[in-house]
Structure formats: structure tokens, C-alpha cells
Amino acid sequence: MKAITTTLFLLLSIITLAQSPYEKAMTKALEQMHENPQAAAQQFERISKAEKDNWIPAYYAALSNINSSWGQYPKEQTLATMEKAQEFIDIAQSLSPKNAEIMVLQGLLNTCWITYDGSIYGMKLSGPTTALYEKAYAMAPDNPRVVSNRAQWLMGSARYFNKDVSPYCSDLDKAVALFEQEKTSGFEPQWGLEGTLKAQQDCK
Amino acid sequence: MKTLLYLLLLVVSICTAQTTISGTITDQTGLPIPGVNVYLEGTYDGAMTDVDGNFKFNSEESGIVILVASYIGFEPYRKESDIAALENLDIKLRESMNELNTVVLSAGSFSAGDNSKVNALKPLDVVTTAGAAGDFIGALQTLPGTTANPDDGRLFVRGGTADETQIFVDGNRVFSPYLPTTGNIPTRGRFSPFLFDGITFSTGGYSAEYGDALSSVLLLNTTDFPVEEKTEIQLMTVGVGAGHTEIWDDNSVSVNATYINLAPYNEVVPQNNQFIDPYQGASGEAVYRHKTSKGLFKAYGAFSYSDFSLNQEDINVADGFFFGLRNRNYYGNLNYSGELSESWDLQTGISLSQDHTDLDIARTSVDNAETAVHAKLKLSKRYSNYFKIHFGAEQFYIDSQEKVRFQDEPFKTNITQNNTGIYAETEVFASKDLAFKIGGRADYYDNTQSVELSPRLSAAVSLSNSTQLSAAYGVFNQQVDNAILQYDPLLETETAQHFILNFLHKKNNRMLRAEAYYKQYDNLLTFDDAMPGFDTNYTNTGDGYATGLDLFWRDEQSIKNLEYWVSYSYLDTQRLYRNFPESATPAFATDHNLSIVTKYWVDNLQSQLGFTYNYASGRPFTNANESGFLNDQTTSFQSLDFNWAYLIDDQKILYLSVSNVLGRDNVFGYQYSSTPDAQGQFDRRTIGQAADRFIFVGFFWTIGGIDNQLDNL
């Protein structure tokens, strides 16, 4: 009995030992996302290349690149970053098809393209983006990121047509409540509360 | 137990065996690159280079590893090595090529669509250019290199006739791209502009992929897989239309139908032609798309019907004569494009077209039928970003029949062609600042059993980040028109050589493009009758030239909410062809052409207002009261067009367009009496505008809840 326990303990510790580099690397990358998005993107890229069956590192690699694509960098760099983000969205999607979290990323990346050149991509991507958010919403109506980003996208369209944005405010309230209840395990996506609170200020 | 302990010890010992990997990363010119991602493939071990391009990290790996250095904007670097040897490395990265930093082979070409440096038009421009009234052919006529022939409506490029431009949909030739019409009533393109999301208009020097076109090709790419289901309704002053898109799994179907009837419009707005049956037309289109794991299959089908009749004025016939036209057209193509592997792409398609026109002209009836098939296979191999090869083969089958009944005397002619083309082309980038395209095609013409070779070359060099120079040369062959070939199937192809020099400057949403060209025509068809027929003598002994300068300036930066472009073309051309008694500038070619297109977005009206001004210098015509051929010139053509698109909300759009707002009385030419009057003078009739103005009002409504009318603006 003792031998079995020891064996199990040792096996477990070896497994833990084997797992920890992933956890360590992911934790470090997540910490870097705010202060050094570029370093974070690279770390996620490395992990994604090593973890060939796991959609989560690719997801974060895409997200970090999207965060660098809102027009704060020169055009050429933005273009390359957006292409990189798309590459990782495609990887994540092939590993986890029909994932509402990844659809949200695609919606955000489409918005980056529209910001990049509205006169070309506004026409091309606004319809598809709305359709994408609706699809994600139908699949995961209780995912706070789906609820919040869909509402923020619709508010953006409404603002463009000089329409009232208040119909979407209740969605933002709902999203905040969902964020507070959200229980995620491991490295599953859990961002978005901050942006939602900021978007809520338009409702006041 | 012992084994386990041993295993544990091993794990620990591996963990502690650390190797340091370090080095410096620079670009080709020796400048350090900060921010490069350096790592061992398949591990999390890696680091980012600092401001001096230095990196350093530790790894517990051992033996042979793969070191990767990757950075946005550079080609990835890979090195397989023993881990112990990865110290103090000196790595040079090669800049990768993207749409913004790479030279573009742009001589001759205009495109509308994606994020390419050479884009002159945006997809939206095609439908929001005042004067174009939703016809993409009309929008292209505001580009330099085209000659305004508003009484015809087709594309006339650089001294070429409209027949010298071939139109392709998804790589397949369209055999009758324009709606049928009669003299002096401008035609329109047959296809809805909303079908396409990429348009490339080449005014010369185009790829070896395209043959049988002397002057120009227009390439239209249909939109890819749709992402939204929707229903659309169109109410217009000239008719109605409806469309629907349905998506399931990896399949989608889009259908639309339009009915146009100009009778009510003609009642309200007087026309200069005396219509008996005003124009009416019905058309329908359907597209089925299926996504495969590595590609996209498209099946496209279109049907259109149109008819009209009028009393055609004629200086020699006191009360004019009856002209009636009925046309049926079917067009379909099947297309597949996809990846065969990482580096091989395949594109294949087949198109079938059937066109049937019945004409009644006074007491003659003409019954015209054409069946045409085009099959094409194209392969592309990408060796690297620096070297690509394209090659392919195509087959044409064209059967054209004409039945003429003159005073109950039937007469029938027929011509069948079976032509084969093969081509190959390589694209070589010596660097991101210097590129070449070298290729050629061979065409076999069945009737004459002859092979024609057409070499094509182009090159481009960057002068700076925002300017580039490019050049193109090519030989182009085209078969003589079916209407003539049916009388003499042994006529040779006509040829043209293009020499093009292009300068492009693009910076901060401003673009300047200047292109000089020289085009040499040879082997042009000539004949010795007023009207070609069986007894006419045909030869291929004509020739000619066209040379000129095209300027294009587009600015969407200087004034907020205003976009405008200015196109100017200078053209000098003469040719000896058809029944010309001597070399002369043809009536369709004008020396100077100018277009100014403006679009102004009014924020608080949610409206786009647009004005287009067109100018063309006088057109040559033969003045029968003076000696000589094409010896006189009309006054200039000028037109000011206006449009207003009002976005009522994200699903409804109201559209108004008025062409020739000022109602200028433009003259396109004269028809002279065949007999002189008592004073020995020939009387003449003015050929002017079909209508002084054209007014169009349309309401477009998209139902489906999740669509956005921005698609249609």
C-alpha cells in the first residue's frame, strides 16, 4: 500500500513537474499582456507552436496582436500585426471549431480592419461582423465577452447612424453581472470587465 | 522503487542542465532589429531581442534543436543545430514582402478592391460615382486611358475599339458582356455591380494569362462565401428588383431578379428617340457556393431578356425606319479554386454562353445566334515570396450563326472556331524593391491552323517608400470579329505591341499615377465595301498606332469628408483599317479626355453627395461638303452629373442620380444625306444625346435584421 502511494505521489509529482513549464510560461505571458504586449504576443506564439493541440495559447497570441492593431502603430506595422492576429485566429479555430470566444476575436479583428481603412473595410466587413456576433450570441448568450462585445459593436453602428445607443445599455449591465459570476478554470479567457465598464459610461 | 528514484533523479538532473543561447540579430544592412522572437522550436524557451538586437536565454534541452527567429515584417529564420553551438550567433533577417512595402508590377493596371498599393478605385466607387448610375462600366470610364463615347457606353481604351477589350468573370471569358442596343442609345454592362468584390482594369501590358484581346482586359471577381442571410428589395423609377441569400452548412445560394420597363419613365421624361415599344428587360441571376476544406466551388447562372422598338430617324428616309430588337442571353460558369498543397494552387473553370438576337430593320430581319464555351485550367506554384510560377491552358469553342431575311429571301451564314491557348509566367522579386514578370503564351487558331506567339514582360523598381517606376512590353493577338470571320474564315489575327512606362506615387491617401504608352497595330482587317458581305475583298494589311499620356490624381486627405479624383488622357492615334481610304483618326478617338469625380460625405444628413464632370474634345467626322476623309471635328462633349445617396437607416437607402444636369446639347456626329441638294450641298442630321438628362430614383431595402446597408452605399 505504502509502495503504491509513494509511486502515485512520485508519478503525480513528475506529471506536475512536466506540466509546470506550460503553466509557468502562460502565467508569465499573461502578466506581460498589459505592460509589454509585444513580449506577451511572442511568448504566446512560442507556447502555441509547442502546444499543437491546445487552442488557448493561439487564442492569446491572436488577442495580444489585436491589442496592438487599433491604429496606435504605423500603418505598415498595423497591417502586419493584423495579419499575424488572423493567422492565430485560424489556428485556434481549427483546434476548437464553433467556439464563441474565438468568434469574438474575429469580430474584434474585423473592427481593427474597419479602423485601419473604413472606406474599404467598413463596407466589406460590417455586415459579416454583425452576423458573426449574432451567431456567437445564439451559441453562448451567457458568455460575458460575447454579450459585451456584441453590444459594443452594435453601439458603434448606432452611433454611426446618429441613433440612440441606450437599447444596448441593458446588455452591458447584463455583461457586467455575468463577469461577476464568471468562474473560469486554468487559462480560459476571462478578460473584458474593464472595457465593459468603460463602454457603460456612454450610457450615462 | 529504485527505478523511480533513479527516474526522479534523472528528471532533476535534466532540469538543471542548462545551456545558454545568445546572439545578435540585424537586418540586411547591418542595423539591429529589436523585438525579434527567438526560440527553440517545440519548447517555451526563448527571448525577445533588446534595442541593440541582442538576445540571451537558457534552455534545458539537449542535442539537436531548431532555433527560430521571427519578427513581423521579416522572413522567418530557422537553424538546425546542436544546442551547444548556439552561442554568440550573428543572424541576419531578410525583410519580408507585404502589400505596403513591396514594389508592384503596376504598368497598365488599375484595380478596385483589396488593400493593394495600386488601387485606384474602392469597391464602393463603382456604384457611387455620379453619372455611372450603378453601371460599373460607367465608373471605369472615369479612369484615364478610356475615351468617352457616351453614345455607345462600352469601353474604348487607348485608341482601341470597344471590341478590343475582353471581359472575364472569375477568370472565364464573357462573350456578350453588354446589353444589346442600337446606334446612339448607350448600353450598360449586363452584370450587377454588387456581385463583384474585386475589379482589375488593365489598359495595356497585361499578363500572359489573357489572350485574344488587342487593347485591354477587365477582370471581375465575384464575392466569396457570404456570411449573412438577407433579403433585398429595390424599387426604382425604371423597374423593380428583389434578391435573397440563404446559407446552410458549407453551402450558400444567392438569387436575384430584376424587371426594367422604361415606358412610364419615357411618358414623364421626353426622349429624343421615337420609341414604339420602350425598352423592357428581365434578368435573373443565381450563385451557388460550396466551401470545401481547401477551396471554394462556385456555380453562377444568369438569364436576361430584353426588347424594344423604335422609329429610327434617317436623313435619307423621310419618316425614318422601323428598328426592333429582341435579345435572350444565358450565361453560366462553374468554377473551383483551391490549394493543392502549401505551395500549389489550382484554379479551374468552364463558362457557357448562349446569345440570341432578333433584329427587324425596315424590311430586313436578322436572326443572330452564338454559342460559346471557354474552359480553363490554371496552376500556380509558389517557391518562396520571391519566386512564383503560373501556367495554364484554355480552350475556346465559338459557334456563331446569322440568318438574314431580306424581302423573303433567306440567307444563312455560319462560323465555328476551336482555339487553344497555353501560357506560362514567372514572377521574380530580386528584392522588395525590384521585381520582374516574364512570360508568354501560344495560341492555336483552328480555322487558319496557325500558331501565334505572344511574349510579355514587365518590371518594377521602387524609387522610395512612396514612389515606383514600372514598365511593360507585350505582343497581343486577337481574332477578327465573328461578323467578318463568317465571310472569310481564313483571316489572320490582328496584332498589337504595347510599350508602357508608369510612374506611381502614393502617400497619405494621395495618389499620383502617370503613364506614357506607345501601341503599334499590325495586320488590321481591311475591306473594300461600305457594308461587309460575301463579295467583299478582305485582307490583313491594315496598321496603325496609338500613343499618349494618362494622368490620374486621387486625394482623400486634404479636405475632410471629401474624396475626389481627376483623370486626364492625351491620345494621338491613327489607323488604316476596315474600309478607311487612308490612315486617319477614327471617330471614336478624341485627343483630350478629362474626368473629375467628387464625393462629399455630409455627416448630419447621413448622405453622400457626388458630382462628376466629363470633358472630351471634339470627335472626328467626315464632312461631306468638304473634300477628304474624317476631315472635320464636332464640338467638345461635356457633362455634369450629380448623385445623392441618403442612408435612412442601416437597412434603407434612397438614391437619386441625374446625368447631364445642365442639359448640354452634346453632338456625337452627323449623318449626311446621300444626295446633294440644288446648290450641290449635302444636308445633314445631328446625332445627339438619346435624352437631355437621365433621372434615376431608387429605394433599396435590406430585410433580415442583421445586415447593414453600408454594403450598398
| pLDDT 10s digits, A158-174 | 887 778 888 999 999 99
Among B15, B228, B710, the residue with its CB nearest the CB of A122 is: B710
Nearest CB to B122: which of A43, A79, A119? A119
Q: Is residue B456 within 8 Å of B439, Cβ to Cβ? A: yes
**pLDDT of amino acid A2:** 60
Q: Which residue has the higher pLDDT, B576 or A74?
A: B576
Nearest CA in chain A to B115: A120
Strand partners, B513: B504, B552
| Distance in Å, alpha carbon of B34 to nearest chain A alpha carbon | 11
Size of interface A-B (CB pairs under 8 A): 110
Residues of A in contact with B713 (CB under 8 A): 123
Instruction: Say which of A21, A46, A161 has its CB closest to residue B39.
Output: A46
- Chain A residues with CB inside 8 Å of B710's CB? 122-123, 126-127
Q: Do A38 and B711 touch (CB under 8 A)?
A: no
Would you list which residues of chain A are within 8 Å, Cβ to Cβ, of chain B? 3, 6-7, 10, 13-14, 17, 21-22, 24-25, 38-39, 42-43, 45-47, 49-50, 75-77, 79-81, 83-84, 117, 119-120, 122-124, 126-128, 130-132, 134, 157, 161-163
Nearest chain B CA: its distance from A130 CA (Å):
6
B76 and B218 inside one domain: no
**Cα distance from N-terminal residue to C-terminal residue, chain A:** 66
By CA distance, what is A44's nearest residue in B? B44
Instruction: Check whether residue B72 and residue B119 sit in a common domain.
Output: no
- Inter-chain touch A131–B227, beta carbons under 8 Å: yes
Q: Which whole-number Å values give the CA distances from B185 to A96, B274, B482, in the listed order?
A: 57, 12, 23
Phi and psi torsions of B678, nearest 5° = -55, -35
- Measured CA to CA, the distance from residue B302 to residue B281 in angstroms comes to 13
Residue B1 domain-assigned (yes or no): no
Total of domains in chain B: 2
Q: Which of B44, B100, B711 sits opposite A21 (nearest CB)?
A: B44
Best residue in B1, B708, B709, B712 to probe A by mutation, most A CBs within 10 Å? B708
Q: For residue B382, what is the domain's CATH number?
A: 2.40.170.20
Structural Rg of chain A based on CA atoms: 19
Co-location of B144 and B83 in the same domain? no
Please indicate, yes or no, if residue B101 is contained in any of the structural domains.
no
Element (H, E) at A127: helix A118-139
pLDDT given at position B3? 61
Put simply, the answer to whether A120 touches B115 (Cβ < 8 Å) is yes
Answer with the one of B44, B66, B95 that is the final residue of a domain: B95
For residue B445 the three cell numbers come to: 487558331
Report chain A residues whose CB lies below 8 A from the CB of B114: 120
Same domain, B587 and B562: yes
Yes or no, beta carbons of A79 and B98 under 8 Å apart: yes
Phi, psi of B84 (to 5 degrees): -65, -25
Quick one: pLDDT at residue B705?
46
What CA–CA distances, in Å, run from B95 to B3, B87, B115, B416?
Answer: 52, 24, 20, 53
Q: Name the band, by pLDDT with cuts 50, 70 and 90, for residue A56.
A: very high
Of residues B41 and A146, more confidently modeled:
A146
Element (DSSP H or E) covering residue A137:
helix A118-139
CB-closest option in A80, A123, A131 to B123: A123
Cell triple for B149: 463615347
Q: What is the rounded distance in angstroms from the CA atom of residue B25 to the CA atom of residue B125?
A: 45
The C-alpha cell 464640338 sits at B635
Contact criterion met (CB < 8 Å) for B46 and A46? yes
Alpha helices, H only, B421-525: 482-485
Domain of B121?
Answer: 109-712
Contacts of residue B202, defined as CB under 8 A and 6 or more positions apart, other chains included, come to B108, B109, B110, B216, B217, B218, B219
Chain A interface test: which of B1, B7, B44, B602 (most A C-beta within 10 Å): B44
Model pLDDT, residue B272? 82
Mean pLDDT calculated for residue range A126-141: 90
Mean pLDDT of chain A: 87
Rounded to whole angstroms, the maximal C-alpha distance in chain B is 129
Mean pLDDT of A74-80: 84
Buried/exposed A85-114: b ≥16 CB within 10 Å, e otherwise: bbebbebbbebbeebbbbbbbbbbbbbbbb
Q: Choosing among B14, B95, B565, B710, which should be mutated to test the A contact, i.e. which has the most A CBs within 10 A?
A: B710
Cα dihedral A128, A129, A130, A133 sign:
positive
Cα B458 to Cα B475: distance, rounded to the nearest angstrom: 12
- Integer Cα distance of B538 and B490 in angstroms: 10
Low-confidence stretches of chain B (pLDDT < 50) are 9, 12-13, 115, 705-713
Q: What are the residues facing B252 on neighbouring strands?
A: B247, B289
Which of B444, B209, B474 has the alpha carbon at shortest distance from B349? Answer: B209
Instruction: Please say which residue of B49, B72, B95 terminates a domain.
Output: B95
Residues of A in contact with B39 (CB under 8 A): 42, 46, 49
Determine whether the interchain pair A14/B706 forms a contact, defined as Cβ–Cβ distance below 8 Å. Answer: no
Whether B243 is covered by a domain: the verdict is yes
The pLDDT of A142-157, averaged and rounded, is 94
Question: Residues B654, A168: contact at Cβ < 8 Å?
Answer: no
CB contact under 8 A, A10 and B8: yes
pLDDT in tens, B389-436: 999 999 999 999 999 998 778 889 999 999 999 999 999 998 888 999
Residues 6+ apart with CB under 8 A from A61: A41, A44, A45, A47, A48, A84, A88
Same domain as B146, residue B43 = no
pLDDT in tens, B559-588: 988 999 999 999 999 999 999 999 999 999
Host H or E run for residue B527: strand B510-527
Q: Is residue B11 part of a domain?
A: no
* Contact (Cβ atoms closer than 8 angstroms) between residue B329 and residue B353: yes
Residues B89, B126, single domain; the answer is no
pLDDT of residue B7: 56
B566 lies in some domain: yes
Distance from CA of A128 to the nearest CA of B (A): 5
B268 Cβ contact list (under 8 Å, min separation 6) = none
Query: Of all residues in chain A, what percent carry a pLDDT higher than 90?
Result: 52
All three cell numbers of B628, joined, read 477628304
**Residue B10 falls inside a structural domain:** no
Residues B347 and B468 in one domain: yes
Cβ distance B606 to A162 less than 8 Å, yes or no, reads: yes
**Nearest CA among A135, A130, A5 for reference residue B1:** A5
Nearest-by-CA chain B residue for A18: B11
Residue B509: CB atoms within 10 A of its CB come to 13
Of B4, B42, B99, the CB nearest to A79: B99
Phi and psi for B70 in degrees, rounded to 5?
A: -135, 140
State the Cα–Cα distance between residues B712 and B710, nearest whole angstrom.
5
CB contact under 8 A, B647 and A161: yes
**Helices A193-200 and A144-160, axial angle in degrees (round to 10):** 30
Among candidates B72, B227, B649 on the partner chain, residue whose Cβ is nearest the Cβ of A80:
B72
| Residue A37: per-residue pLDDT | 84
Phi-psi group of B435: left, alpha or beta (phi > 0 → left; psi -120 to 50 → alpha; rest → beta): beta
Residue of A nearest to B71 (CA): A42
Buried b (16+ CB within 10 A) or exposed e, A119-158: bbbbbbbbbbbbbbbbbbbeebeebbbbbbbbbbbbbbbb
- Is residue B338 located within the same domain as residue B396? yes
Contacts of B711 in chain A (CB under 8 A): 123, 126-127
Residues B116 and B236 in one domain: yes
Burial call A22-54: b when 16+ CB within 10 Å, e when fewer: beebbeebbebbeebbbbbbbbbbbbbbbbeeb
CB contact under 8 A, B1 and A3: yes
In a domain, B128, yes or no: yes
- Compute the nearest-CA separation of A173 from chain B (Å): 22
Distance in Å, alpha carbon of B374 to nearest chain A alpha carbon: 31
Do the Cβ atoms of B124 and A131 come within 8 Å? no
Same domain, B551 and B491: yes
| Tens-digit pLDDT profile for residues B34-62 | 989 999 988 888 999 999 999 999 988 88
Higher pLDDT residue, B136 or A94? A94
Cell reading at A15: 506529471
| Gap between the terminal Cα atoms of chain B | 76
Give the global pTM: 0.84
pLDDT at B710: 41
Q: A119–B124: do the CB atoms touch at under 8 Å?
A: yes
Are residue B82 and residue B180 in the same domain, yes or no?
Answer: no
Quick one: how far is CA B444 from the chain centroid? 25
B75 and B123, same domain (yes or no):
no
**The pairing of beta strand B538-555 with beta strand B562-576:** antiparallel
CA-wise closest residue to B208 among B415, B356, B425: B425
* CATH code, domain carrying B56: 2.60.40.1120
Judge: B708–A77 Cβ closer than 8 Å, yes or no: no
Query: Inter-chain contact B73–A77, Cβ cutoff 8 Å?
Result: yes
Cα R_g (chain B), whole angstroms: 30
CB within 8 Å: A14 and B37 = no
> Where is the domain boundary, B72, B95, B118?
B95
Q: Is residue B643 part of a domain?
A: yes
Check if the beta carbon of residue B483 is closer than 8 Å to that of residue B532.
Answer: yes
